[in-house]
Amino acid sequence: MKTVTLTLTNSPELMLEGQNITPDNFAGKKAAEIAALDVWEGKQKSPLGKYFTVEGDGAATAEETKIVLRGDCTRVKRIGQQMTAGEIVIEGNADMYIGGWMKGGKIHVKGDVDSFCGIGMEGGELVVDGNAKSHLGSSPRGEWRGMQGGLIRVAGSVANDTATFINGGTIVIGGDADIHVSTHGEGGTVIIKGNAKGRVGGQMVKGDIYVYGTIENPLPGFQMVGEVEQEVDGETARFAHYIGDLGERHPVSKGKTVYANLYTRI
Per-residue pLDDT tens for 1-22?
Answer: 999 999 999 999 999 999 999 9
pLDDT value of residue 141: 83
d(CA 72, CA 199): 34
Total residue count of the chain as it appears in this document: 266
Cα separation, 53 vs 181, whole angstroms: 40
Q: Which amino acid is at 101?
A: W
pLDDT of 200? 98
Q: What does the pLDDT look like over 22-77, one tens digit per residue? A: 999 999 999 999 999 999 999 999 999 999 999 999 999 999 999 999 999 999 99
pLDDT in tens, 124-176: 999 999 999 999 999 988 888 899 999 999 999 999 999 999 999 999 999 99
Instruction: Say what the pLDDT of residue 11 is.
Output: 94
Amino acid (1-letter code) at residue 177: A
Whether 265 contacts 211, CB under 8 Å = yes
Handedness of CA 204, 206, 223, 172 (dihedral sign): negative
| Amino acid 145: pLDDT | 87
- Asked whether 224 and 244 are in contact (CB, 8 A), the reply is no
The amino acid that residue 217 corresponds to is N
Q: Tell me the CA distances in angstroms from 29 to 40, 110, 168, 262, one per residue in order.
A: 20, 26, 34, 47
User: Per-domain residue ranges for the chain?
Assistant: 115-265
The reported pLDDT for the residue numbered 161 is: 97
What pLDDT score does 143 carry? 85
CA-angle at 221, arms to 201 and 216, nearest 5°: 60
Check: CB of residue 187 under 8 Å from CB of residue 166: yes
- Whether the full predicted model's pTM is greater than 0.85, yes or no, is yes
User: Mean pLDDT throughout 197-216?
Assistant: 97
Contact call for residues 157 and 131 (beta carbons, < 8 A): yes
Note the pLDDT of residue 144.
84
* Predicted confidence (pLDDT) per residue in 109-126, tens digit: 999 999 999 999 999 999
pLDDT at position 257: 93
- Buried-state track 24-45, b at ≥16 Cβ within 10 A, e below 16: bbbbebebeebbebebbbeeee
Q: Residues 207-255: pLDDT tens digits?
A: 999 999 999 999 999 999 999 999 999 999 999 999 999 999 898 999 9
Region 98-116: what's the mean pLDDT? 98
